Amino acid sequence: MTSIITIYTDGSCLSNGSDFAPGGWSAVLEGNGKQLRLSGHECPTTNNRMELTAILEGLKAIRADHATVTIYTDSAYARNGCQDWRHNWKRNGWRKSDKKPVENADLWQELDLLLNKHSVDLRWVKGHCGHPQNELADRLAVAAAHGQTTRQYRNQGDYEFNLGGCAGNREAAA
């Protein structure tokens, strides 16, 4: 049976472009009537790096061998890169058409593996327009940029969490 999972992601970077810019990412996974909220912090970083990390960490949380995944992001960079650009970048040795290295190649290479593992549909959603799960992901990412990270499970019956093949506690799954 294929797991069906929806992931809402966001990235945030305070003072994007500065040498010591702190950032945060979040992924809100939903499926099988359950919700998993993940977020993390990195410094220094960029907004684009946090957007990619949010998608990457959301996909890493899926424990199923294969899942049907819909990812919502407000980052055109992340959406276009995952859906379109990465295929050419990979063919070109992770270089752009101008032969320069792809920024965040480490994340793109990891994303490429996970995107190929599952059936993934990435959808762009306009940020800050009242979409409840996108707004939640935004709040969690901003809080993470300030150092307040989370790993929360909602609507589970007990401590063992299985979101249609998605486990939030990596240590317990090891």
pLDDT digits (tens, 9 = 90+) for 5-17: 999 999 999 999 8
Is the C-alpha dihedral spanning 102, 105, 149, 155 positive or negative?
Answer: positive
CA 47 to chain centre: 13
What is the per-residue pLDDT for 174? 24
From residue 91, how far is each of 95, 101, 126 by CA, in Å?
Answer: 8, 13, 30
Q: Name residue, tokens 């190929």.
A: 116
- Pairwise CA distance, residues 135 & 128, whole Å: 6
Q: Is-contact 26 54, C-beta < 8 A?
A: yes
- Pairwise CA distance, residues 72 & 13, whole Å: 19
Q: Is-contact 118 62, C-beta < 8 A?
A: yes
Q: Is-contact 153 38, C-beta < 8 A?
A: no
Residues 33-41, mean pLDDT to the nearest whole number: 94
Using 50, 70 and 90 to split pLDDT, how confident is the model at 133? very high
Looking at per-residue confidence, does 155 or 33 come out higher? 33
Q: Name residue, tokens 């992770």.
A: 94
- Pairwise CA distance, residues 41 & 4, whole Å: 28
Structure tokens at 121: 């549909």
- Residues designated as active site: 10-11, 51, 74, 128, 138
Instruction: Name the phi and psi angles at 44, rounded to 5.
Output: -80, 160
What is the per-residue pLDDT for 4? 92
Q: What is the CATH number of the domain that holds 166?
A: 3.30.420.10
Which structural domain, as residue segments, surrounds residue 19? 3-173
* Statement: the pTM of the whole predicted model exceeds 0.75: yes
Q: How many domains does the chain have?
A: 1
- Single-letter amino acid, residue 81: G
- Pairwise CA distance, residues 10 & 26, whole Å: 5
Q: Is-contact 145 15, C-beta < 8 A?
A: no
Tens digits of residue pLDDT in 81-125 = 999 999 999 999 999 999 999 999 999 999 999 999 999 999 999
Using 50, 70 and 90 to split pLDDT, how confident is the model at 155? low
